[in-house]
Amino acid sequence: MKNLIVASTSTIHGEAYLEYLLGAVSELYKNTSEILFIPYARPGGISHDEYTSKANEAFRKINKTLKGIHSYEDPIDAIQKANGIFTGGGNTFLLVKMLHDLGLLSTLRAAIFDGTPYLGTSAGSNICGVNMQTTNDMPIVYPPSFKTLGVIPFNINPHYLDPDPSSTHMGETRETRIKEFHTQNTIPVVGLREGSWLEVRGDKVVLRGNHSCRVFVKDNIPYEINSGTEIDNL
């Protein structure tokens, strides 16, 4: 049975890395002390080692150890044997290209469907959707496909931002970008504000955290779903 946390962000303003999520993460990984870390998204371009070391600092607080997938000779075997998996945020294009190039997507998908506890933050949450086409990231590399894991039946827009009525900037709002997505795609999109996450248990998806989320369905007016509510029938 699927068992995931799909979080908008790793970090809330003014807090330490993963701090707001540590209770839920501790519960997610209650049956394992070692977790496989996928650092391919490399936020700010830091190395796989640096990223793994940074993430380990947070996990030490809940007595867990992360081991970076890049340190294994056989990453497919590492995923199959893992008792818990965490994919960190950063650049979604880089993450998805690495997963495709190394042929890891189908193995990762199978592990999640088999019940391996999975945590994703930001880019690591984007890849839980049907495709990565609602990422906010810059296309710094060209992945062989935009398809992702499809372990939830909709797309995520992480770090969702409401339009700022006082802004004088003429770049598209997030809502306009998602509307443009829906001129070309029919996949529903859940805009997850920072501090929100999805708790996925089997086919049940419940919104957690301090905020409502914003739901975008093609040809419909966007609407809000409150925290604590199941997200169903989009």
Task: State the catalytic residues.
Answer: 122, 137, 159
CB of 83 to a copy of itself, least distance (A): 29
Can residue 161 be called a binding residue for a copy of itself (CB under 8 A)? Answer: yes
What are the helix (H) ranges across the chain?
Answer: 22-28, 48-60, 75-81, 92-101, 105-113, 123-126, 174-184
DSSP state of 172: P
CB of 94 to a copy of itself, least distance (A): 7
Of 137, 148, 149, 198, the one binding a copy of itself by CB under 8 A: 137
Residues 178-197 touching a copy of itself, rule: CB under 8 A, are 178-185, 194
Can residue 211 be called a binding residue for a copy of itself (CB under 8 A)? Answer: no
Can residue 159 be called a binding residue for a copy of itself (CB under 8 A)? Answer: yes
DSSP state of 230: B
Instruction: Report angle CA 86, 115, 4 to the nearest 5 degrees.
Output: 45
Cα 13 from Cα 220, distance rounded (Å): 32
Residue 44 or 202: the one with the smaller Cβ distance to a copy of itself is: 44
Burial of 185-210, coded b for 16+ CB within 10 Å and e otherwise, reads bebbbbbbbbbbbbbbeeeebbbbbe
Can residue 45 be called a binding residue for a copy of itself (CB under 8 A)? Answer: yes
Residues 10-39 touching a copy of itself, rule: CB under 8 A, are 10-14
Stretch touching a copy of itself by CB under 8 A, among 58-66, 67-75, 110-118, 161-169: 161-169
Can residue 42 be called a binding residue for a copy of itself (CB under 8 A)? Answer: yes
Can residue 126 be called a binding residue for a copy of itself (CB under 8 A)? Answer: no
Burial of 113-149, coded b for 16+ CB within 10 Å and e otherwise, reads eeebbbbbbbbbbbbbbbbbbbbebeeeeebeeebbb
Q: How many residues bind a copy of itself (CB under 8 A)?
A: 45
Can residue 206 be called a binding residue for a copy of itself (CB under 8 A)? Answer: no
CA proximity to 224, closest of 199, 191, 202, 198: 191
Cα 101 from Cα 114, distance rounded (Å): 23
Residue 87 or 135: the one with the smaller Cβ distance to a copy of itself is: 135
Residue 64 or 97: the one with the smaller Cβ distance to a copy of itself is: 97
Can residue 90 be called a binding residue for a copy of itself (CB under 8 A)? Answer: yes
Q: Which two tokens stand for residue 73?
A: 């000779």
Residue 76 or 161: the one with the smaller Cβ distance to a copy of itself is: 161
**Contacts with a copy of itself, residue ranges (CB under 8 A):** 9-14, 42-45, 90-91, 93-94, 132-142, 145-146, 159, 161, 168-172, 176-185, 194
